[in-house]
Structure 1
């Protein structure tokens, strides 16, 4: 595990690497030495690829200078640290696997455990649930719970009463799932609560009289979003009859009163500080044609600061299809941020999905030096500084069009090892590299691009020689 250290002028760090990475290590360490003010030397081991170094092998070849106060080795060796620590006479520091991330050793980036605490409840709605069969609803509910939902909202069909609503609710409750029901139909609400639903969305002047008999918590809303008086009358009525209530002034989409609706949430919190509140954030994410992660995060931040401790979301539209997972990540970040009174930065990269938090580019000189160091015909692909690079022994091809680069490779005598398998592999990797350039993402060969919480680990598919 990478641990940071505090560099000082009295320290002399001995960086261990292989032949292939020597140019990049020298360039990176030279910059860091100037930045942090430490002395250093570099030990180039008699091996091409540093990642192949083992603790036993390194002990036989390690010969740090007498002035060295610390040895810095690759994080690949962390699994054998006990053996190294016992044999090396000075402290051993286990850095990152990629030398370009070496700054993390000296605390350039903060290392904080991802926030885990939260106090905002996610209510995930299954829209038009009665149009699906019972098993589909149960399966979908289980999936939403696994993504972070605390309550599953059974969204009724306003045009058709669901006569089997009791069966649906009972099936969900039997799975240990907390259930709310989204309906203005008093009969549906009564049946749902009788079979285990613990929350009814929503109540206004049209059904508040019946809400007294349901015996569960309800969400109070105004008759129309701007009708504050009807909202107040419903709240007073429910309070008078002892009905536990959450307040939702209604979030309106951009273009129909979004800013004013945010003001209503602030005013409602001021006027009713003792009440729980809910915000239906799906009204914005579903009706705003942008990726939902940033929208969800901002809305969760507003909720955290106003003490709104439940949100209603849904995943109907494709650009919001991961909203529950996004809200789950966002609520942890905003809880930490508000509690610690710090900006929500350097806490987690789960919601940095389109672009990466930072890039670690090679300079053109480092790439050229790397190219001259390669002695084998295995292809390396880089995506740096608006260009793609394809490197192997006696090969350095750069450009922006993978098709043109591949044709250039085939026209060279060195391409006699490019069979169908190689071609497929290179095409796959260069497509990833092109996408990384387009979106300003970090590309690392044989590794998946970083899509935040949507990242799927990628098996290493590099062609292996028999």
Structure 2
């Protein structure tokens, strides 16, 4: 197949580097590639003797290049927005029908993600699990499942608890864990389980060592008990066995591997058949390495027992962004055969941990399927850093040094108050003016609406608003707070 890539003078070096010898390169007499027009391209191609099957034009071009395709009898597509992505695009030229409306990089992004998700669905459907928890597969070849704890669920009002459970499931929680406070009563536990049952269909667990609270949860039809050890096995084993629910077994406080094994054996002898083992992940600074070794040893010696991995024990006790920490912990969890990833998403710094662990679990499943590292999978957890850096520009010899404008005056049409309404979902930007309040999820749409409604009259005001709206959008994307005029 004969392929041509058309570009401008400024991008020539990057285009040739990306294309290598997989296509010919046509450099037109324009500086910026995005300014290429259909007529200019036709004029240049008529001078070419060679016939091409496919021509890629810059992804940011806006003209109607279908006239080029019609006149030359070949296919013309939008390439990627950035020249360095051409190598990735050209690999798929025989497999994908590109577009004249959607840049190739955006099209491939969707394709790669769709392929990844279809692969995950197939793996999950065909997986033989170690255990089924209310139709949720645990262990085996199935994806690691995310258990999200609602901290102090027994002390929350019905509306608050309902909203929190709903938002956790929306973020990717496969199992909801109801945390019982130290002062919770049996009635508090029953009420929490009833609320959870009302708003969700995912498995529900109760998080307490108290025998009476465990029994109360069992009475309401809870699916999982978290946790059992020598302090409560004798008191609740009969009820757990009779209800035929799963139970997470832990070592006794301060004990290790042998205690866990002994408690699992005691639970089995007491009639509990659906057992999940929690070797307990210790925080950084408190023996995390020893605990990981404990996990590895347990999985090697008891490969048929699903393993519970408490990622929240680490993320809550380190002042670092949770994205990379959760991805790394998820990789370790996969290596030691974990079935459940547990997180409370309690503190502000760990908000987003549920969705992060959910994505990371999918990445590890795909990596295992492909026998590769968790990269180039179609899904990722790159939020602040880039996989490939866009090329920098060179500072010219002559330039004007930017200076702050000191002559700011109030816009006669009035000021705007910018804020974000960040709920447990995606949140929105709120731009309040005396004439109208505009709400949206991205800065461009809000600014376009402000211009269309003629709510602004000064260039410096428009510049200021654009900066603040963009800051608000970035805050939403990163899950951060926002305050107008403060640094992000």
TM-based fold match above 0.5: yes
The alignment status of 1:227 with 2:227, answered yes or no, reads no
Shift of 1:102: 3.9
C-alpha contact 1:28 1:102 (8 A) present in aligned 2: no
The aligned residue for residue 232 of structure 2 is 207
Shift of 1:450: 11
The aligned residue for residue 446 of structure 2 is none
The alignment status of 1:193 with 2:218, answered yes or no, reads yes
SS for the counterpart of 1:75 is: coil
SS for the counterpart of 1:40 is: strand
C-alpha contact 1:119 1:335 (8 A) present in aligned 2: yes
Stretches of structure 1 lacking an aligned partner (at least 5 in a row): 1-5, 17-21, 369-394, 410-418, 436-446, 456-466
For residues 425-464 of structure 1, the aligned pairs below 5 Å read 425-427=462-464
Q: CA RMSD in A?
A: 3.8
Shift of 1:82: 6.4
Paired positions, count: 384
The alignment status of 1:246 with 2:276, answered yes or no, reads yes
**CA displacement, residues 74-94 of structure 1 (integer Å, 9 cap, x when unaligned):** 335799776654443233242
**CA displacement, residues 158-180 of structure 1 (integer Å, 9 cap, x when unaligned):** 23435232122122112223210
SS for the counterpart of 1:152 is: strand
Q: Could you say if the C-alpha distance between residues 279 and 224 of structure 1 is closer, same or farther in structure 2, counting changes exceeding 3 Å?
A: same
Shift of 1:25: 3.0
The aligned residue for residue 323 of structure 1 is 353
**CA displacement, residues 403-431 of structure 1 (integer Å, 9 cap, x when unaligned):** x265699xxxxxxxxx9643244346668
TM-score normalised by length of structure 2: 0.69
Shift of 1:146: 0.5
C-alpha contact 2:248 2:278 (8 A) present in aligned 1: yes
Shift of 1:217: 0.6
**CA displacement, residues 361-386 of structure 1 (integer Å, 9 cap, x when unaligned):** 24327x78xxxxxxxxxxxxxxxxxx
C-alpha contact 2:275 2:305 (8 A) present in aligned 1: yes
C-alpha contact 2:179 2:207 (8 A) present in aligned 1: yes
The alignment status of 1:89 with 2:69, answered yes or no, reads no
Pick from 34, 39, 42: which aligns with 1:62? 42
Give the structure, 1 or 2, with the largest relative contact order (CA under 8 Å, sep 6 or more): 1
For residues 68-147 of structure 1, the aligned pairs below 5 Å read 68=50, 69=52, 70-75=54-59, 85-99=69-83, 101-107=85-91, 113-114=112-113, 115-116=116-117, 117=120, 119-147=143-171
TM-score normalised by length of structure 1: 0.71
The alignment status of 1:270 with 2:300, answered yes or no, reads yes
The aligned residue for residue 237 of structure 1 is 266
SS for the counterpart of 1:310 is: strand
C-alpha contact 1:351 1:452 (8 A) present in aligned 2: no
The alignment status of 1:42 with 2:14, answered yes or no, reads no
C-alpha contact 1:74 1:94 (8 A) present in aligned 2: yes
Pick from 126, 150, 159: which aligns with 2:174? 150
Stretches of structure 2 lacking an aligned partner (at least 5 in a row): 93-104, 121-141, 409-455, 481-488
SS for the counterpart of 2:338 is: coil
**CA displacement, residues 289-334 of structure 1 (integer Å, 9 cap, x when unaligned):** 1111111111111222222111110111111111001001100111
The aligned residue for residue 127 of structure 2 is none
Pick from 288, 307, 310: which aligns with 1:280? 310
Shift of 1:358: 2.0
